Amino acid sequence: MNARPNIIVVDDEPTGLASLEDALTRRYGGDYRVIPQLSALSALSDLKRLKDKGERVALIIADLWMPEMTGIHLLVQAHKIFPEAQRGLLVEWGDRTAAPAILKGCAMGRLDNYLHKPWSPPEVHLYPAVGEFLADWTRRHGPRMEIVRVLGEDPSPRAREIRDLLERNGIPHGFYCADSEDGLRLIEMVRIDPTRLPAVVLLDGHVLSDPTNAEILDALGATDVEERACDVAIVGGGPAGLASAVYASSEGLRTIVIEREAVGGQAGTSSLIRNYLGFPRGISGAELAHRAYEQAWLFGTKYVFAREARRLKARGSDRIVSLSDGTEIVAKSVLIATGAAYRRLGIPELERFTGAGVFYIVPSDGRVVEGKDVFVSGAGNAAGQGVVHLAKFARRVTLLVRGDSLEKHMSDYLVREIRTWPNVEVRLRTEAVEGHGDGQLERLTIGGRGGGPRETRPASALFVLIGAQPHTEWLAETVQRDAKGFIVTGANVNTEPADWPLDRPPTRFETSMPGVFAAGDVRSGSAKRVGSAVGEGAVAMPFIHEYIKAPVSLGAGVPVGSGGEQEIA
């Protein structure tokens, strides 16, 4: 068997095919074997041969117009043989007839992207696109770098939490089952106490036994709490918070981001976001969040991870954010961008499998469900994105929708793409009722909503994506919220004397507490979309700038501006 993954190139023009093969071999030949094919039928025959030999195919590039079949049709057929392979359509510059095929192919999940020909010089027009294809394939199916090793039992809810924490924060890691050969070797090599699992082994060999999230991220140098005074304290590291951090720190404001879990928030768990500006091929929520995190960090943003904001108060012109470990962040202004939490099923028979078959996020590494039967509960875009991602790996994906329509809450492009997957089943007016298994989810009982017929089916995992509720409990007595707990801002703030202490009205994104702003999903009336959250985080910054120029002092029981302290939570 060839150890190198294969790149298949199909074009019925001999000169163009030879040129493309030569260019790809020069750049990627050391790690991949490039196989040229002049015919679509011979390419399909060769793919079947490679499959029978147990070889891997990383990328298939097919010319759009060929005599035997179109490149789109070839890629569809090839996907049935190698569903994990990336698919690129090769089109002529200026070919106007190609546009409908590309748009429909991408929307229906029949290809991943397209390339132009001629492409000389390849460094500009060929290698960047091919590099993206191969990076996506390697990220999902290739070898993984491990700067952290997690040792634990399987199944283990806590071990799964740690792996999700590392994955969402973009920290390369590997998992070792404690009773496996590799796990036992690791225990002996670094002298891990097998009674205190899970354990995290750092690159230098240091072992953290049964650590907290804060201990893990502190050991990896992700948290910086040395400087506790800032111009802007941003509570929440989702799209809105990260966008604010980029703009605030790039404009010279001392910025601290407080994030209790991982950067990206709910958006960070999306396997593929295809409708975000500037990413025509789509981008995973985790990758988008990590890029924004790094961008803000390069501008000077400080981060505090795995600590929860517990209290907000005013001390003169300062706004004080108290954290769960007792740390106090002193800021001239505060932006609340805590997003929303995943809604849980609340069914004890299913909740007992949380982390052991029942999950509230979809893993970016889809190999964990390879060849398995899995279920997704939900009807929004997050559920749709999860289904499409899982369908690339799982044997079968069943989407459970409580309502009678998929189109009501899901974007049209996702609805259409879901319907193209032969291994996806959509069950309307159906919900998960009960889970079964010995410590690990093995079977799932589903039934019609309102007491309809039930059936029990094999299930390796249930991914619950049924919406979210805002992280605002800690602000219950601090700022005004609507009936659902979302923060009221701007013109919607009740400015009666008892609720608003200033002569001027609240500015846009400002809450009922002067100097405290809100953006993104946590804000009442927000669009609950990644692009909208990023926009709000960016647009909020001019108003924060203006506030910092003329801060407001709040006092407890004394006139505004007296410099006293007012505890508001």
Q: For 459-518, give the secondary structure using H, E and C.
A: CCEEEECCCEEECCHHHCCCCCECCCCCECCHHHCCCCCCCCCCCCCCCCCECCCCCEEE
To 5 degrees, how large is the angle CA 136–CA 341–CA 200?
A: 60
Residue 160 neighbours by CB distance under 10 Å: 22
pTM for the model: 0.73
Write the CATH number of the domain with boundaries 348-466: 3.50.50.60
Domain ranges of the chain: 6-141, 148-219, 229-341+469-567, 348-466
Cα–Cα distances in Å, from 101 out to 3, 72, 95, 216, 421? 34, 8, 11, 48, 18
CB 28 within 8 A of CB 7: yes
How far is CA 74 from its chain centroid? 31
Cα–Cα distances in Å, from 117 out to 91, 106, 122, 212? 6, 19, 10, 52
* Sequence letter at residue 561: G
Phi and psi at residue 174, in whole multiples of 5°? -130, 155
* Sequence letter at residue 200: V
Q: pLDDT tens digits, the chain, 569 residues: what are they?
A: 568 999 999 999 999 999 999 999 999 999 999 999 999 999 999 999 999 999 999 999 999 999 989 999 999 999 989 989 999 999 999 888 888 888 777 755 678 889 999 998 999 999 999 999 999 899 888 877 889 999 999 888 899 889 988 888 888 899 999 999 999 999 999 999 989 999 999 988 999 999 999 999 999 988 887 889 999 999 999 999 999 999 999 999 999 999 998 888 777 777 677 778 888 777 888 889 999 999 999 999 999 999 999 999 999 999 999 999 999 999 999 999 998 777 788 888 888 888 778 888 787 667 678 889 999 999 988 899 999 999 988 999 999 999 998 988 898 889 999 999 999 999 999 999 999 987 788 999 999 876 778 999 999 999 998 877 888 999 988 999 998 899 999 999 988 877 788 889 999 999 999 999 999 989 998 877 788 899 999 999 999 999 999 888 875 432 333 233 433 33
Same fold, 6-141 and 148-219: no
Give the H or E element holding residue 458. strand 454-458
Q: Which of 100, 467, 136 is nearest to 279 (CA)?
A: 136
Distance CA 183, CA 176 (A): 5
CATH of 148-219, one of 3.30.750.24, 3.40.30.10, 3.40.50.720, 3.40.640.10: 3.40.30.10
CB 369 within 8 A of CB 346: no
Distance CA 392, CA 368 (A): 12
Distance CA 313, CA 318 (A): 9
**What is 117-159 written as a DSSP string?**
ES--SHHHHTHHHHHHHHHHHHHHHS----SEEEEE-SS-HHH
- The pair of structure tokens assigned to 338 is 């805590």
Upper half-sphere CA count for residue 8 (Cβ side, 13 Å): 33
Q: Identify the DSSP state of 316.
A: B
* Residue 540: Cβ-neighbour burial (10 angstroms; 0-12, 13-18, 19+): buried
| pLDDT tens-digit series, residues 181-230 | 999 999 999 999 989 999 999 988 999 999 999 999 999 988 887 889 99
Upper half-sphere CA count for residue 557 (Cβ side, 13 Å): 0
**In sequence order, what are the residues at sequence separation of 6 or more whose Cβ sits closer than 8 angstroms to the Cβ of residue 529?**
none
Helix 71-81 with 40-52: angle, nearest 10 deg: 10
Q: Which fold has domain 6-141?
A: Rossmann fold (3.40.50)
* Sequence letter at residue 170: G
Q: Which fold has domain 229-341+469-567?
A: FAD/NAD(P)-binding domain (3.50.50)
